[in-house]
Amino acid sequence: MLVYFFLLCALQLLGEVIVYTTGLPIPGPVIGMAILLLILILKNGMPEGLDQAASGILKYLSLLFVPAGVGVTLHFNLIAAEWLPISAAIVVATLLTIAFSGLVMKFLGKLS
């Protein structure tokens, strides 16, 4: 299990290196997880240890929201001053996400 935890960390680091060297506007962890997805597709499945390592990390996922909450309280005056554009961005992004998810499901439904 520890080996797979280090694999996840190494893939995140690899994603960060790719972003740093290429200047891509994509977060490094996203690239690292895309690489992991490709590896899992090529191996036709997920090893047991990787499942355990990921489950261990996911148990403490809520702790990652603490810095975001602190940031919101720290910059509350800025958020209050810009509430309209922030709200509009949230609503538009939510609607686009719902529409895109529906289109993907429609496309995948035709494949099966």
DSSP secondary structure, 65-89, as one string: HHHHHHHHHHTHHHHHHTHHHHHHH
43-96 pLDDT per residue, tens: 888 888 898 888 888 888 888 788 888 888 898 999 999 999 999 999 999 999
Greatest Cα-to-Cα distance within the chain, rounded to the nearest angstrom: 50
Rg (CA), the chain: 19
The pLDDT of residue 34 is 95
Please state the pTM of the whole predicted model: 0.61
Using the predicted structure, report yes or no on whether residue 32 has a pLDDT greater than 90: yes
CA distances from 107 to 15, 85, 100, 111 (A): 29, 32, 11, 7
